[in-house]
Amino acid sequence: MTATATDSGTTAYGVVDGDDRLRALRAGVAEVARELREHAPAIDADPERASLPYDSAAVALIRAAAEPPERRGTTHATGVLAGWRGTCLERVVATLELARGDAGALLGAPGPALAGIVVDALGSAAQRDFFHDRVADGRTRTFFAMTEPAHGSDATALETRLERVPGGYALFGRKRYIGNAARGGVGVVFARTGASPLSIRAVLVERPAAGWTARRLDTLGLRGAWLSEIDFDGLPVAEEQLLGAHLPASRRGLWGAVRTFNNVRIQVGAMAVGTALAMLDRVDELAPGAPGGQVLRARVEAARELAYRAAAEVDRNPDPRAAPAVAKLAGSGLPVAVGQWAARVLGPGALLTDPLLEKWVRDARGFEFMEGTSNMQRLHIADGHLRRGPHRAERPS
């Protein structure tokens, strides 16, 4: 690896800093991410009405990065994504820069998002085609519905039922804190057919549909994400909507989706790091050289490097427990820490007069909960260490 200057002016032996293609990707995405920043205050103020323009380069890039290569077409976005293979590392590089634009606007963008990762991992060729056709209009948002009012961290206890009915199945239950559900066109819902964790299945659901009602929750932060609550009252589900039918029972549903969580966990850590960098940049503009800033920036840069390294590890071994959890744990608390520091160095009330900084301070708490709380990450890290064999490599699950 080579030692190069980072964009913060420090010298680093970084996973990305030593790779021309990844550095170009990072710079290209950073450029496009400015659009997210531009629209972020309006989306935060009125998420019901404001949104990223559907024809923007940012929306095209976010969608293209999550689409199979043969569907990507040729746009400015595909130029930025030149050589894109869809690796975890590429996604982390891009997600971090987009979140440095604005994480709330990113989470509200149309495109395959998290549901796409699950459909690509568990869906048959026909299900993948159906899903990607459905989002090809560039306006359709997607949802990934796992969390319930009484079950967040322990997904194996989820209660939403997939009941056998003549001609197929029907969904009953309630999901909560589901991004974009109240405006999504297609997504994945996790539900159980029986008592065993292996009976939990991922179901492809298209909206509008009878037996589905959803409302947006009014949240303090990350308002662009449209966290929603959904009620299922007998939503009809055909056999072909169940993902993973072609896979062994142990690789369907929840167990099959766990592999995708390793990837997503690092993306959430990267979003937190991107937000922390955005906040540091803003404080630097308002109060250049404020005491403590350099130390905080060094911590944030270290978390960025951890995210890159965890992603590179996932690309080598898709099942590591510890590395993604370390990356998420290191990143998720940083926006909160930067916000507290900003309040100290800028003085009382200063956050209230800077709309973006004030918004990011509200957004900061969300990263702790998305894709597993810090306590859950500590449990994954402990589990990863217990799995380590004599050569310090984790044994696959």
Ligand X SMILES: Cc1cc2nc3c(=O)[nH]c(=O)nc-3n(C[C@H](O)[C@H](O)[C@H](O)COP(=O)(O)OP(=O)(O)OC[C@H]3O[C@@H](n4cnc5c(N)ncnc54)[C@H](O)[C@@H]3O)c2cc1C
Residues that bind ligand X (CB under 6 A): 144-147, 152-153, 177-179, 222, 225, 227, 366, 369-370, 373, 375-376
Nearer to ligand X, 4 or 153 (CB): 153
Q: For residue 25, which phi and psi values (nearest 5 degrees)?
A: -60, -45
Query: Closer CB to ligand X, residue 155 or residue 242?
Result: 155
C-beta closer to ligand X: residue 155 or 277:
155
Toward ligand X, which CB reaches closer, 106 or 303?
A: 106
Q: Which residues fall within 8 angstroms of residue 293, CB to CB, at 6 or more apart?
A: 280, 283, 284, 341, 345
Tell me the closest approach of the beta carbon of residue 353 to ligand X, in angstroms: 25
Instruction: Give the SS3 label for residue 390.
Output: coil
Cα(163)–Cα(149) distance, integer angstroms: 20
What is the DSSP secondary-structure string of 47-86? TTT----TTSHHHHHHHHHHS-GGG--SSHHHHHTTT---
**Exposed e or buried b per residue across 165-194, where buried means at least 16 C-beta atoms within 10 angstroms of its C-beta:** eeeebbbbbbbbbbbbbbbbbbbbbbbbbe
Smallest separation (angstroms) from ligand X to the CB of 158 = 9
Cβ proximity to ligand X, 319 vs 383, nearer residue: 383
ω before 208 within 30° of 0 (cis)?
yes
Min separation Cβ 103 and ligand X, Å: 9
The answer to whether the Cα torsion of 282, 287, 288, 294 is positive or negative is negative
Label the pairing between strands 186-192 and 168-179. Answer: unpaired
CB of 375 to ligand X, least distance (A): 3
Shortest separation between residue 389's beta carbon and ligand X, angstroms: 26
Q: Which residue is nearest to ligand X (CB)?
A: 152
Closer CB to ligand X, 130 or 369, in the complex: 369
CB of residue 393 to ligand X, shortest distance in Å: 26
Contact of 249 with 323, CB cutoff 8 Å: no
How near is the Cβ of 238 to ligand X at its closest, in Å? 23
112 touches 45 (CB < 8 A): no
Q: How many CA atoms lie within 13 A of 255 on its CB side?
A: 13
First to last CA, the chain: 31
d(CA 214, CA 63): 24
Task: Choose between 86 and 152: whose C-beta lies nearer to ligand X.
Answer: 152
Nearer to ligand X by C-beta: 200 or 225? 225
CB closer to ligand X, 329 vs 342: 329
Give the nearest distance from C-beta 172 to ligand X in angstroms: 17
Nearer to ligand X, 344 or 385 (CB): 385
Instruction: Provide DSSP, 248-263.
Output: -GGGSHHHHHHHHHHH
Local structure of residue 8 (DSSP, 8 states): T
CB of 322 to ligand X, least distance (A): 17
Q: Largest Cα–Cα distance in the chain? A: 68
Whole-angstrom distance, CA of residue 201 vs CA of residue 190: 6
Write down the least CB distance from residue 374 to ligand X, Å. Answer: 6
